[in-house]
Amino acid sequence: MWRPWAKSTVKIHDTSSSPFSFPTFKDIQNLCTEDHPSSHIKKSSSIFHRVRVANTFLRSLALSLPELKPGPEPENNASPTPNKTTTPPLQQQPSITIPGTDKRIVVYYTSLRVVRSTFEDCKIVLSILRGFRVLIDERDLSMDSSFLNELNQIFSNGGGCGRKLTLPRVFIGGRYMGGAEETRQLNESGELKKIIEGLPVADSGVCEVCCGYRFILCGQCNGSHKLYIEKAGFKSCTACNENGLISLP
């Protein structure tokens, strides 16, 4: 009833040489095998060679470019240098005064529109000061260059020769108050009104001679600033400024 025991004809492959008998596991077999010690030696020597080459290149680069070398670190106790200079408050600024102007306001400005921001600042400051209806001595640098020399002399004598002179410049009661920004701040805080109190009130009328411009044409040269003299030719007029104008008190 049972078939007789017979020898199988199926061939069994020898698996002693490899733990995997299927071709699909060849890659896994290669990954699982350990590398030979000689391969580690070759890899490590290759890495060390690259490191030596890189260090040699960096040293040669540092010698050829000395400006890339790091400088000495600053001391901890060194005081940091400020990035931007700030204008000291009015009470800390050096005392700059104009003798003989204790009873009026003196404003150095320009009526030229060459620099729009400067012209606008001068216009705003004069508008603020004229609103108090006090005596204002308006000195236009564009009408007479002697005002510029006068202003430079004032600041050099008052210890402000290092500052950059910009317009306008306001003096109240002979004391320097600042420029356009300081005048705006004083007016907004109400301090300007307190400072101006006590100054004489200005006349409401306009001068019939200069019509408020404080300058008239020179009668000798008729505003040309040149005079013709026989046997000498043309000479500069000494009675007026470079614009042929005479300043009125």
Residue 241's domain comprises 206-248
pLDDT in tens, 184-230: 999 999 999 999 998 999 887 888 888 888 899 999 999 999 999 88
Residue 9 lies in a domain: no
List residues bridging with 228 in a β-sheet.
234
Residue 35: closest CA among 27, 24, 43: 43
62 — pLDDT class (breaks 50, 70, 90): low
pLDDT, residue 45, reads 58
- Residue range 169-193: mean pLDDT, rounded: 95
pLDDT, residue 166, reads 92
Residue 22 has pLDDT above 70, yes or no: no
State whether 150 and 170 are in the same domain: yes
State whether 115 and 188 are in the same domain: yes
Residue 69 lies in a domain: no
pLDDT, residue 113, reads 93
pLDDT, residue 160, reads 61
pLDDT in tens, 44-54: 556 666 767 77
pLDDT, residue 204, reads 79
157 — pLDDT class (breaks 50, 70, 90): confident
pLDDT in tens, 77-131: 544 444 444 445 544 555 789 989 999 999 999 999 999 999 999 999 999 999 9
Residue 138 lies in a domain: yes
State whether 149 and 105 are in the same domain: yes
CA 97, 99, 101, 107 dihedral sign is negative
- What total of structural domains would you count in the chain? 2
State whether 102 and 189 are in the same domain: yes
State whether 197 and 239 are in the same domain: no
State whether 229 and 176 are in the same domain: no
List residues bridging with 227 in a β-sheet.
235
Residue 14 has pLDDT above 70, yes or no: no
State whether 101 and 200 are in the same domain: yes
Residue 78 lies in a domain: no
Q: How far is CA 142 from CA 133, 236, 244, in A?
A: 24, 19, 13
Residue 123 lies in a domain: yes
- pTM for the structure as a whole: 0.61
State whether 118 and 200 are in the same domain: yes
* Separation CA 91–CA 127 (nearest Å): 25
pLDDT, residue 242, reads 92
- Residue range 57-78: mean pLDDT, rounded: 56
Q: What CATH number did the domain enclosing 104 receive?
A: 3.40.30.10
- Residue range 232-242: mean pLDDT, rounded: 92
Residue 143 lies in a domain: yes
State whether 130 and 169 are in the same domain: yes
* Separation CA 178–CA 42 (nearest Å): 80
Flag the least confident range among 24-38, 101-115, 119-133, 168-182: 24-38
State whether 125 and 227 are in the same domain: no
Mean pLDDT for the chain?
77
Q: DSSP character for 235?
A: E
Residue 174: closest CA among 143, 148, 142, 137: 137
Domain boundary among 204, 221, 237: 204
pLDDT, residue 133, reads 93
Residue 25 has pLDDT above 60, yes or no: no
Q: What length does the chain have? A: 249
Residue 221 lies in a domain: yes
State whether 152 and 194 are in the same domain: yes
Domain boundary among 188, 204, 220: 204
Question: 67 by DSSP, 3-state: which?
Answer: helix
What percent of the chain has a predicted confidence (pLDDT) above 70?
63
Residue 80 lies in a domain: no
State whether 98 and 132 are in the same domain: yes
Label each residue of 17-42 as H, E or C: CCCCCCHHHHHHHHHHCCCCHHHHHH
